[in-house]
Amino acid sequence: MTKMEKLFKTAFFLILNFGVSFGQKDNAKPSQKFNFFSLSSPNRHCFAPPPKQLSEYIREIYQDRSGNLWFGTNSDGICRYNGTSIEFFDKKKGLAGNQVNGISEDKQGNIWFATDGGLSRFDGKKFISFTKKEGLQNEVIWSILIDNKGIIWLGTMTGVDRFDGKVFRKFDMPKTENGGISKFNQKVVWNMMQDKKGNIWFGTDGGGLKMFNGNKIYTYKANSGIKSNNVRCILEDHHGNIWLGTEGGGVSRFDGKKFRNFGEKEGLSSLNIWTAYEDKNHQIWFGTGGSGAIKYDGKEFKTFRETQGQTKNHVQSILKDKKGNMWLGFSGGLYRVEGEKVQNIPMDMLVGC
C-alpha cells in the first residue's frame, strides 16, 4: 500500500467515525433533549457571552390554552415560546406595534395584543390589525380586557373603547376632581379587570379606581381610603377581595366595604407597584418599580431581587405557568424564581441549545 493510499484510508476512517458519532448525538431521544419546562439546564451555550437576553424589557407574560407562553416586550414585539423553540413577531410580520402592553385570548382561541400601534388579532397563522382607520380612538393601547360576553375593552391614551368584533365604541368615564399626579392624563387606563360578579374595574392614571356595574360608574380615590389615585394594577383574589397596586401609595385591599392599605410599615419594600398576580397557592405576588418582586403569603411580605446588577429591579410582569415555573419580566431580561432567589433566563436557556 502506497503512502498516499494509507493517508486516504486514515482520512476515510476518521470521517466515517465522526459521522457516526455526530449522527448519534443528533438523534438523541426526545426525553433527553432539553425542555425548559422541566426546570433543567443545558450543558452548553449557543450564543457567545454575555448571554443574549430575550428582550431588555418584558412587559407582559401570558400563557394560552395550548400551553404556549407569550412574552410581550417594550420594543421587540411579541415572542412565542412552546417549551423548546421561540419565534418573534413584530411590525414586519404584521403586528400593529412593537411595544406590547397587553395580551388576552378569546373563546375562539384568537390571541389579541394591545400595542403602541393599535390592536392586533392572531389566529395562529396571520395577524389582523385595527387602528384609527377601523375606528379605534387612539392607537396607543395600555390595557386590554375580554369580558364574559366576549366584548373587548381597550384602555387607550385618550380613553376606553369597546369592540364587539365589528364596531369600536367609546366608553366615557367621569373625570375625577382633585385627582392625583398623572404620568399622561386621567383618561389613560393602566389596567382593567372583571370580577366574579361581572363588575369591571379600571385603574387610571391619576383618576383613582373606577368600577362599572353595568349601569353606573363608581369612583374610589384617596379620600375613599386608597393611598394613591394612580392605580397601576388590579387583582381579584380567590376570596373576592380586590387588590390594587398604586404608584407611590403601595398596596390596597378592598373587601367590598372598606380598604386596608399596606406600605413600608407592613413590610413592602417599595410603594411603586406595577403588577399583581395570585398563584395556585393563593399567594399574592407584586412587581415593583425598583425593588424586584414581592410575595405575600397572607402574613408577611418577602422580596425577591436581582442581585448581580444586571437590572434596575423593575418587574412589569409575573406568571406561574402550568408546569409550575414562576416567570418574572424584569428590566433587563426574563427571570424565574428558583428557591429563594431569581435566576436569569437568557435566550439560549429557552431553546436549550
Q: How far apart are CA 353 and CA 351, in angstroms?
A: 6
Tell me the domains of the chain and their CATH numbers: 46-351 (2.130.10.10)
Eight-state DSSP code of residue 235: E
Eight-state DSSP code of residue 322: T
What is the DSSP pairing of strand 86-89 with strand 78-81? Answer: antiparallel
Specify the pLDDT at position 179.
83
Specify the pLDDT at position 351.
83
| DSSP per-residue string spanning 300-312 | -EEEE---SSSS-
CB-CB contact of 61 with 70 (8 Å): yes
Specify the pLDDT at position 45.
52
Q: How far apart are CA 101 and CA 116, in angstroms?
A: 8
Q: Provide the sign of the torsion angle of the four alpha carbons 306, 309, 314, 316, taken in this order.
A: negative
Closest CA to 304 of 289, 318, 292: 292
Specify the pLDDT at position 30.
37
Phi, psi of 13 (to 5 degrees): -65, -45
Specify the pLDDT at position 1.
52
Q: For residue range 110-165, list pLDDT tens digits in order.
A: 999 999 999 999 999 999 999 999 999 999 999 999 999 999 999 999 999 999 99
- Tens digit of pLDDT at every position of the chain (353 positions): 554 554 444 444 444 443 333 333 333 333 334 344 543 444 445 666 678 999 999 999 999 999 999 999 999 999 999 998 999 999 999 999 999 999 999 999 999 999 999 999 999 999 999 999 999 999 999 999 999 999 999 999 999 999 999 999 999 999 998 888 899 999 999 999 999 999 999 999 999 999 999 999 999 998 889 999 999 999 999 999 999 999 999 999 999 999 999 999 999 999 999 999 999 999 999 999 999 999 999 999 999 999 999 999 999 999 999 999 999 999 999 999 999 999 999 998 888 75
Q: How far apart are CA 227 and CA 210, in angstroms?
A: 15
Specify the pLDDT at position 2.
53
**CA 140 to mean position of chain CA atoms:** 17
CB-CB contact of 91 with 76 (8 Å): no
